[in-house]
Amino acid sequence: MDYAGYKTMRFERADRVLTVTIDNGPMNAVDHDLHEELSRVFADIQKDTDCDLVVLTGQGRAFCAGGDMDWFQDMIDNPAMFRDLGVDAKRIVFDLLELEKPIICRLNGAAAGLGASMALLCDVIIADEKAVIGDPHVKVGLVAGDGGAVIWPQLIGFARAKELLLTGDMVPAPKAEAMGLINYAVPTDQLDAKVKEIAQKILGNPRFAVRWTKTAANIPLKQIAHSVMDAAIAYETITNSTKDRQEAVTAFVEKRVPKYSGD
């Protein structure tokens, strides 16, 4: 598989491990290009005959810190752009769940919004203890439509998940580990060693036993995603056109407290 056409991600191979690094500016924010490439990368990895395990991580100090504000404003100004994202948004979630090869999230820094959904949809999540994770869609005036409503309740239960989705609070990695949201929170200098340890344990087992165990375990998650995603994305699309959505983005850019009207 040739990944040369990707602009927002880097790909490195070591034996049968493919490391995919999100590389899209200082915080790896999601913009049009990254969103589009995420909508096809996991299907491409499924077809890659040269890898048996994937490590997903971010460049620099963030894993993927949510949406790019300029892109957000463009979609407020042109709502048709947001409507067009629906198919790709579903494809990111379903391609991650359909990927037979095990995928480890190397959570090197902040993961927010879609970044958090991608991290939590991986099979094993290993975080730098300084990292934070959260789904602050509500803080930018949106419904958590791109996977958060699917995966958070399955990992930590509805009470905790709804608290975090409705507040938009970010969770420090050690607390995320303690509540069962992620697998491990480790010191920075131990992150790569822990990722390698888990990868080698998985790779030490027969390839198709691993792949199809994952496939079987993901069946209920796919059923939940099929039940939730269309409505979640529809609600998110509606909120993109509200006055409070514009106020949330404007206040964030201006670094002030938002003044919501309730519309």
Q: Which domains are delineated in the chain? A: 9-207 (3.90.226.10)
pLDDT, mean of residues 60-81: 96
The pLDDT of residue 10 is above 90: yes
Query: How far is 80 from 25, CA to CA, in rounded Å?
Result: 26
| 70: confidence class by pLDDT, cuts 50, 70, 90 | very high
Q: Exposed/middle/buried for 83, CB within 10 Å: 0-12, 13-18, 19+?
A: middle
What stretch of H or E contains 228?
helix 207-239
pLDDT at 1: 87
pLDDT band, residue 261 (cuts 50/70/90): very high
Beta bridge partners of 14: 17
How confident is the prediction for the chain on average, in pLDDT? Answer: 97
CA distances from 65 to 107, 110, 179 (A): 11, 6, 21
pLDDT of residue 214: 98
| Distance linking the first and last C-alpha atoms of the chain | 48
User: What pLDDT was estimated at residue 36?
Assistant: 98
Strands (E), the chain: 9-14, 17-22, 53-58, 62-65, 103-107, 110-112, 124-128, 132-134, 171-172, 184-186
Helix, strand, or coil (residue 19) = strand
* Number of Cβ atoms within 10 Å of the Cβ of 105: 26
Mean per-residue pLDDT for 153-170?
A: 98
Percent of residues, the chain, with pLDDT higher than 70: 100
Planar angle of CA 107, 108, 114, nearest 5 degrees: 50
State both tokens at 19.
């490391």
Q: What is the pLDDT of residue 210?
A: 98
Could you count the other beta carbons within 10 Å of the beta carbon of residue 36? 15
Residue 81: CB atoms within 10 Å: 14
Helix axes 32-47, 114-121, angle to 10 degrees: 10
Check pLDDT > 90 for residue 96. Answer: yes
Write the CB contacts of 73 (distance below 8 Å, at least 6 apart in sequence): 249, 253
pLDDT above 90 for 161: yes
Beta carbons of 3 and 44 less than 8 angstroms apart: yes
Average pLDDT of the segment spanning 6-20: 98
d(C-alpha 184, C-alpha 224), whole Å: 25
Whole-number pLDDT of residue 249:
97
